[in-house]
Structure 1
Amino acid sequence: GVCVCVCVSCFPGTFKSKFGEGSCAPCPSNSRTGSRGSNICPCLSGFYRADSDAPDSACTTIPSAPRNVISSVNETSLALEWEEPEDTGGRSDLVYNVVCKKCLRDRSPCTRCDDNVDVGPRRLGLRQRKVVVRNLQAHTRYSFEVQAVNGVSGKNLMSPRYSTVNITTNQAAPSAVPTVHLMRSTSDTLSLSWLPPEKPNGVILDYEIKYHERVSGQPMSHTVTSQHSSAKVEGLRGATPYVVQVRARTVAGYGRYSNPMEFSTSLHSDPQKSVQDQLPLIIGSASAGLLVIVALVVMAVVCLKKQRSGSELEYTEKLQQYISPGVKVYIDPFTYEDPNDAIHEFAKEIDISCVKIEEVIGAGEFGEVCRGRLKQAGRREMVVAIKTLKAGYTERQRRDFLAEASIMGQFDHPNVIRLEGVLTRSCPVLIITEFMENGALDSFLRLNDGRFTMTQLVGMLRGIAAGMKYLSDMNYVHRDLAARNILVNSNLVCKVSDFGLSRFLDDTSADPTYTSSLGGKIPIRWTAPEAIAFRKFTSASDVWSYGIVMWEVVSYGERPYWDMSNQDVMTAVEQDYRLPPPMDCPMVLHQLMLECWMKERNLRPKFCRIVSTLDKLLRNAASLKVHQQQHQQLWEP
């Protein structure tokens, strides 16, 4: 007989990858076929084959999250360890990724860490289950995601499964002092100065200067300390080389020493020393004496003119015309005997029928702040902000509330908030201003962290500077310039606002931003040292505050000096500490900030120069791309 071979196709649920001899095999794990004659079994939903897997291999899935992530913080370093996922997905090619996120604020989303953060041995594709993270910022919250990934993770549209650990870094010792300079040497002294550490990691308490003679063998070292970034080392031998190193100390301890530098004392003593050293004092005394004489003459002239003028206000106006002919000058409403006269002179009274309050949008110092509409005869209806004076006010509160309108009504500039008018005859008393859709600059920046170009940020800063130039030209000193007091409209135009004076006069405010000092409230973090110490508020102290606003803007609303106490801030600033550049801050911008924070107020730039500097930067966008990350310097006045 003849043997006849009949080819039979594989039944559903089985497959055969090649034609020819051999029997059909059941589908591999996690795959199935419902048709006859299949040469491959497709994977079930949620299961995959990697591109490198054989067609007849089992289907696998993505791993579950790593388990039991353990973190160990050491100052600004972190060790992370974890255990394998409960389910590896059926594969042996499991690796891990570590994602670092920095969390600046409680309610804001965390953002990816910058490239300075070092994750070792690497961030992605880790086979071992531990890493060490270095170069984190001190006193900062971080969130770390440890992802489990295998060969089919790329086939799944969902992000890898991960475990999260949240940590806060500790206070850290400062980095090394960059370099030491010799300012002057005599036969027995070396006068030295140095730059503060690039990463102070807190307030620098003092510096230790270590020095020894350059001799062979083991020389005996001596140390002296200094509160400032300069010192005079005395009692040395003449014409002798000395090796000098400096290190900084914070509450976390000493940082590393600077590299050894060699300086020599002079051969001869310096007979002119005493005269040279006293010369600045002599000049200073002479200048001071001259200033006293000038001040006395001015006061005498002022008193004489005041007697002749009859009224203080009339005299003020005449003096302003004399000082600045043709220039409009701000008039303090408190120079009016009756503050109501100031209101009627500088603010337009609006009829209650023209105003419609729509919703409460915030709380002001004296009452609620609302959004509403203003429709005046012959003018288009407009959206406005409405400040209300809460019921039960005292006459002094009413006067202080309306004083802001008397001040605002004198200004007319595109970067200063515009007063529409007041309602003094209604109950409640209202102040009507233009409406700024994006609200206060600090909260607006926090909501939009990282979303603007550096050019847009500098454009905002230019607007604020232009508004402040206008105010300083009018001889108006703001005294509370801060990002919270800048308002932003829908076109990102920034306008200076908040001209209330009461918080500086009244010591009952509960706002922690304003700290009691010499019988009044002062926003310490934003205020120049001379204004805190001597109540010396000038346009130069406004320039200091503007430097802090620059820092707030570039850092997207970060709190100046972070969680330092107000007392620590005052001590640090007095010891020449200055805020470091925020992340991705162009060098030229931080340099301008440092100029605004010069200890000597006469050396700070005027607002007119700040505006022209920012204009040049906006015209030359390339200058804004130079960042100051690795070579950051803190200002040494």
Structure 2
Amino acid sequence: MRRECIAKIFGACPTIPDSEKTLPVYYITCPEVTINFAHFPVTPTGKEVTLIEQATGKCVKNAEVVEPPTYLCKGDGKWTLPTGACKCKAGFEPDFEKQTCNVCPSGKFKSEVGDNLCQPCPEHSKAPSSGFSECTCDNDYYRAPSDPKNMSCTQPPSAPQNLSLNFVDQSTVMLSWTLPDRLGGRIDTVYRIKCDACTAGIVQYTPNAEIFNDTKVTITGLNAVTTYRFQVFAENGVSHLSTKTNPEYADLTVTTEASIVSSITNVRITSVKSSEITLIWEAPVVDGDVENEIETYEVRCFPRGDMDYSNSSSILTKDLTATFTGLMQRTEYGLQVRAKSKRGWGAYSPVIFKTTGQVFKTAYVGDDDGFRLQLVAGGIVAIVVVIAAAIVLTVVFLKSRSNDECNKKQPSDCDTLEYRNGEVKLKRTDDTIIYRNRGSSRTYIDPHTYEDPNQAVREFAREIDAGCITIEAIIGGGEFGDVCKGKLKMNGIDIDVAIKTLKAGSLENPGTISNGSFDYGSIRTS
């Protein structure tokens, strides 16, 4: 803080006559200062002691604004609350004590604005003079645009090693190789496959024509008995920056095998269940050439949509049929068959799609076999129906005849249960014998010893609750009405009984003579 004449502050003070001299006026100022790499000049305070003046700073040399620097000048001439800052530019490092930005010396660099110090150049790069924000790469070394500035310069990889043929048939080739001898200091190596005679859109590469982090490829869709040259390039993030006109690669020439004479024909589905499919096919026709004789068949099964066969399963068999089990229910599967001779594998048959059944395993049969099976099944069903009808007619005839014979006998010859108008009459007779329960014993009664048979009925017949009788089915017919099968519940035990319903108009008295016959031992219940 200091006091000065206003005129001295704003210019030279003129000579004033003594008669015109007045009292001097003084101002309080905040002094010149440099903070956060920003310079603030001398700043007068406000008119009142309580007022605060805000000053805006200016970045020091080789620094740039990160956030506008400000400083508050109080009424007592002191600075307070600095905000914002300037930072040293790329290629310059800060001196915090002197509040200056110093240039990076030769061999060092600083890649961005900030408070970082200059760093030595990374491997395979150099900074030949001062003030470098990025070190330049040595000859034949490169830095990709996405590489950080403090990363070493790198090179393209060398060619893959030990390129080998793992498998070949008439349409498929499998290749493998080992890592290049020199990866160039990077870990982003990609292998690119090139085929000089492959037809675009037909030949397929698995996993792809450009492979990362793998050293094998399967190529399909090739022609039989055709020579192909395959080149495998190793590339990384700086390969496109290389000045070499002939990139390194490994190459291999392969001739595909001959196809078998004929393909599989007449492939058809014979059975489909909830998790099982069975198919059959016909053997291909061979011309007698030993080389074309079929050694084995391969059957392939895969879900629809999985055309790269990553979820396929295969069966090798010498038979002309195969069954896939453990399949997912209600899922559509594609099935193909191919044959192998000494010359190699033949082409797959056209895809047949079929959907598995539901959980209750309803069987499906193929078209031809299914029609024959339906005829056989229909015939069996017809025979069973005829036999069942004959048995039913025979049983009905025998029951009717038995009931007619029973009706011609004395009523005591047939045990019946009569139901009419809510009443049930139980007849427990056997010829001339009536049994009457007395505790656990049964006493023999001869009704003919009674002068009046009705008296015997009245003494030894008893009423049975109709709720104890259950009618189950009609088993015949008689003179008095329908004869039914049912159960009598006595003492908690169900007893099989015959139940005879009386026709409308029959006499109420169970002990009456009907058509010259008498129902002995009738028991009337309500």
**Given the two structures, how large is their TM-score scaled by the length of structure 2?**
0.33
More strand by share: 2
Larger Rg: 2
**Given the two structures, how large is their TM-score scaled by the length of structure 1?**
0.28
More helix by share: 1
